Amino acid sequence: MSFLIAQFDMERKDQGRLSGQAGVQQVDSAPPNIRDVFYQLNSATTLQALEKLTGEGPLISDPYFNGGGMHQIERGGHLTVHADFTRPKHLPIFRRLNLLLYLNKEWDASFGGCLELWSRDCKKKVKEVAPVANRVVIFTTDTTSYHGHPTPLTCPPDRARRSLALYYYSVEPPNRDHTGITTRWRMDTGARNGARQRAAAFLWRVSRKLGGIASQWETTGRW
């Protein structure tokens, strides 16, 4: 996984109005300054800048903000280390880049919440990034781009870890592993987690079977 970190000089108001994780409907109803940032980051100007900066592309943005939008994690919350999906279900395209813009003013290191970037074999942490205000992290997306913030937040109850997330795609697949359609979660070794992995695999097989049945019903009217 390759990544870039930048610090932008951008003022953010209405942070207190951000809550939960939102998709396109919430983006459209977000405060005007937040909404304008989303639209700008989805614009042709941004796509061209990202192509020049990363060498990825040609890039296209996702008008649905699938999996992206406004993200918030409150005290005690965490995000398990994972590799994101690389093929959205709603469009025949390939995910190439993640962009995270943090909104946390006066974020103390004791609060935790650092973004962790892990090795491709998911065995060791190679980079940690504090989620401070106006910091942007951009990294390539594939089935081994493991990241997260697995340690629960210790921020005060009236604070939360907030960010804007956008994902960028291409029509052509990248020259790296892009076969992970669903999110891949890191699990530690051991019998308990082995059972979790088997359960997850079983549920995935069941979901695919049900999806096939539903598709057959839609096309033929028969089970």
| CB count in 10 Å sphere of residue 26 | 17
Share of the chain above pLDDT 70, in %: 67
Q: Record the tokens describing residue 97, joined without a space.
A: 């880049």
Q: Do residues 99 and 41 lie in contact, with contact meaning Cβ atoms separated by under 8 Å?
A: yes
Does the domain at 3-186 match CATH 2.60.120.620? Answer given as yes
Q: Which residue type does 58 have?
A: P
Main-chain phi, psi angles of 202, to 5 degrees: -65, -45
pLDDT in tens, 74-96: 999 999 999 888 887 778 899 99
Residue 130 phi/psi, 5-degree rounding, is -70, 140
What digits encode the pLDDT tens for the residues 140-195? Answer: 988 889 999 999 999 999 999 999 999 999 998 887 656 555 566 565 533 444 55
Q: Give the pair of three-digit tokens for residue 210.
A: 């049900």
Compute the distance between CA of residue 104 and CA of residue 159 in angstroms, rounded to an integer.
9
Tell me 49's DSSP state. H
Check: CB of residue 181 under 8 Å from CB of residue 142: no
